[in-house]
């Protein structure tokens, strides 16, 4: 069967999560750029989102489904806990990212810096200030969840792979970086994540210079 192909830009947190899953499992893969909202993307994802996985005749979209396929279809260390309690915790955190945290931390907050729409092309300070209290609250939730733990669900799991790309971007924005600097558990676990080959090998390219 052919190697895995992932479609999507390397800057996407969800694309990076899928790539990290491949890296952690030792699965060879190719990352192919695809134009967002293009006919080529619509042909493999009915909602024109990324990532999309192609493996032989298998085509999958939705990051959680892709990570599950990678975990269950290939040899290598398990990416989800085998026991019900820790597995439930991992699934809970994946759902937290998909349902709440991505919307707040990336769309409402980080996008103000990445795609500034304020006056003179600057970040919209009003939008940022409106998002900051919830950003700080969610960072606090993550820090509390990591108290006394090496990873969110005990051992490294997909939950950590969903969160790590988001935390990377938060470390580059002033308000979230300040909140993370005072979060000792995030600092501890983040240092361990930043040293993993899966994190290093999937580092997104820096934004182009203006």
- 136: pLDDT strictly greater than 50: yes
**Is residue 134 within 8 Å of residue 73, measured between CB atoms?**
no
What does the alpha-carbon distance between residue 210 and residue 208 come to, in Å, rounded to a whole number?
6
In the predicted model, what is the mean pLDDT of residues 21-32? 97
Q: Supply the pLDDT for residue 120.
A: 86
Q: Supply the pLDDT for residue 208.
A: 55
Element (H, E) at 123: none
- Least Cα distance to 109 among 45, 174, 190 occurs for 174
Q: What is the pLDDT of residues 86-130, one digit of tens each?
A: 999 999 999 999 999 999 999 999 999 999 988 888 999 999 999
Q: What is the pLDDT of residues 39-68, one digit of tens each?
A: 999 999 999 999 999 999 999 999 999 999
In the predicted model, what is the mean pLDDT of residues 170-189? 98
Distance in angstroms between the alpha carbons of the first and the last residue of the chain:
43
- Least Cα distance to 36 among 66, 64, 15, 8 occurs for 8
Provide the phi-psi class of 118: left if phi over 0, else alpha when psi is between -120 and 50, else beta: beta
- 2: pLDDT strictly greater than 70: no
**φ/ψ of residue 192, rounded to 5:** -65, -40
- pTM of the entire predicted model: 0.96
Cis peptide before 191, with omega less than 30 degrees from 0? no
In the predicted model, what is the mean pLDDT of residues 156-185? 98
How high does pLDDT run on average in the chain?
Answer: 96
**Is residue 50 within 8 Å of residue 32, measured between CB atoms?**
no
- 1: pLDDT strictly greater than 90: no
Task: Average the pLDDT over each of 83-87, 193-197, 206-210 and give the range with the smallest value.
Answer: 206-210
Task: Give me the CATH code for the 4-73 domain, please.
Answer: 3.40.30.10
Domain limits, the chain: 4-73, 84-200
Q: Supply the pLDDT for residue 155.
A: 96
Task: Give me the CATH code for the 84-200 domain, please.
Answer: 1.20.1050.10
């Amino acid at each position: 069967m052919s190697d895995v192909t992932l479609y999507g830009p390397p800057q996407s947190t969800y694309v990076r999560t899928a790539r990290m899953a491949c890296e952690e499992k030792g699965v060879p893969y190719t990352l192919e750029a695809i134009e967002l909202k293009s006919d080529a993307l619509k042909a493999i994802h009915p909602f024109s989102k990324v990532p999309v996985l192609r493996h032989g005749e298998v085509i999958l979209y939705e990051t959680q489904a892709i990570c599950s396929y990678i975990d269950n279809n290939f040899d290598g260390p398990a990416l989800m806990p085998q026991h019900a309690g820790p597995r439930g915790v991992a699934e809970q955190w994946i759902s937290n990212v998909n349902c709440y945290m991505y919307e707040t931390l990336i769309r409402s907050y980080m996008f103000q810096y990445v795609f500034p729409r304020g006056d003179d092309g600057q970040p919209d300070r009003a939008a940022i200030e409106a998002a900051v209290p919830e950003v700080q609250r969610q960072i606090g939730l993550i820090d509390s969840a990591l108290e006394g733990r090496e990873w969110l669900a005990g051992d490294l799991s997909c939950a950590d792979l969903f969160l790590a790309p988001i935390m990377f971007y938060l470390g580059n924005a002033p308000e979230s970086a300040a909140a993370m600097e005072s979060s000792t558990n995030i600092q501890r676990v983040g240092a361990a994540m930043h040293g993993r080959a899966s994190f290093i090998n999937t580092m997104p390219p820096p934004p182009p210079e203006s």
